[in-house]
Every structure is written in C-alpha cells, then in structure tokens.
Amino acid sequence: MFSLNNKSAVITGGASGIGKAVAVLFAQQGAAVHLLDMNEAALQTTVAEITAAGGNAAAHKVHVDNQEAVKAVFETIGTVDILVNCAGISHIGKADTTSEEDFERVFRVNVKGIYNCLHAGIPLMKQNGKGVILNMASIANNVGIPDRFAYSMSKGAVLGMTLSVARDYLHEGIRCNCISPARVHTPFVDNFLAKTYPGNEAEMFEKLSKTQPIGRMGTPAEIANLVLYLCSDEASFITGCDYPIDGGFIKLNN
C-alpha cells in the first residue's frame, strides 16, 4: 500500500520542515522527488540525505513567486504525477497593523506561488491524463487566529484554489485536495520563538503546544503521512476536500 513507484513528485518548500518530511517519505515510497526551494544549502543537504538512503531526489533552486522561473523548472522536470505545494511564509499582524509590503509579500509566496506551480504543473498532468495535487492550507481557513490577518487571507485563498482546481479538472483525471494543520514543530517555530521570545523559548513553546487540545504540536512526519495517503492511489476516490490535522483544535477547543 501507498507505493509511489514510477511516480514523479514535485514538492515546493522541500528543503525543510513539512516539505522535507514529505520529500523524504515520498522517496522512501519509491517516488522520484523534485525539491523546489530558495535555500540552496538546505536543498543540497536534503537531497544528499535522500540519496544516501537510496532514494531518488533532485534539487531546484527557485522562488515560487517568479512565474517564468517556475515554468522553466517544470519544463526541465518534464513529467509531474504529483504536486505538493508546501512553500509558504507566515506573518504576525492585524488588518490595521499589517503593512502593504508585508501583505503583498505573504500573497506573493502563499497564493501566487501556488498559482504559479498549478499554472506550470497542470498542463503536464493533462498530457498524462492524470495527476494529484495537494496544497498546504491551515486551520486559519476555518477559525479566526489572533494576529494572523495576512496569513489567514492567504490560506483562505489556498482552500478556494483547491476547490476550483478540483472542479475544473475533475474529468481530466486530476485530483486536488488540501490539508489544514494546526501548529507543527518545524524550524520555523524554533526560529520564531528565538526571535520573538529570547530567553523564554521553552515557556512559550509549552504554551503554544497546549493550544492544541491533544496537548502538543504536530510533527512534520505526521503531516507527511496524511499527504502520502492523499497523494497515493489508495485515495483515488478523494478530491475537492480539506483535511484538518490539528490535534482537535477546530472541533474540541472551547
């Protein structure tokens, strides 16, 4: 079950965090993984780890908000069976405290970045008469998160794009779903705590962990497991869905 043998998978944000966990797992399951990221050093490290374990991986340094650059990468890859859009950034601020520059920066990466990859990847899937797309959304699609105005905007757009793509390509063999994680312990979280709460990292980590009813943050590997299922042939009857993976955050918080 969950074999990805002979599948070509493109994973954006594949050099760290959730994207890296997805890339490692997909390679273990037999896929040839193509990692798109702007951090060349992290890309090379991740590819080296995958190939050392016997996997098939390639690195592509690219900014996902650059449509021409993204298109060139996809043309180089040639065949895309699976597209996982993990690349994204966060931002802290309310509507009246978010600058235009920051709003547009979040939009360019989290919304336009996914659009660019869809725009480049879907034609390749149409040529094969099949394909699977998985977009990384957030619990911010479903609930109000304090001080996350721009981020919530962008993740609401991810959900909308997911439903639109699922509908538009339903009869061309292309499935499209998204997942909505709550807080996941990634390097981003550690960097955020070190920058925002120097000296109180452990205390704030515990506080943030307990916002999930399950009492902890998720792990990138746990998110990757759900991504694998939704991108596998075992999920062939699933499209146009958003899957919360949130430790009970949406339904169990009072």
- Can you read off the two tokens belonging to residue 125? 């899937």
Boundaries of every domain in the chain: 8-182+219-246, 185-217
Cα-based torsion angle of the residue sequence 93, 95, 97, 100 in order, rounded to the nearest 10 degrees: 100
pLDDT, residue 38, reads 96
Active site residue 151: yes
Alpha carbons 11 and 81: distance in angstroms, whole number: 11
Exactly one of 115, 151, 229, 243 is catalytic; which is it?
151
The tens place of each residue's pLDDT in the chain, 254 residues long, gives 999 999 999 999 999 999 999 999 999 999 999 999 999 999 999 999 999 999 999 999 999 999 999 999 999 999 999 999 999 999 999 999 999 999 999 999 999 999 999 999 999 999 999 999 999 999 999 999 999 999 999 999 999 999 999 999 999 999 999 999 999 999 888 988 898 899 999 999 999 999 899 999 999 999 999 999 999 999 999 999 999 999 999 999 86
Fold exhibited by the domain 8-182+219-246:
Rossmann fold (3.40.50)
Instruction: List pLDDT tens digits, range 221-247.
Output: 999 999 999 999 999 999 999 999 999
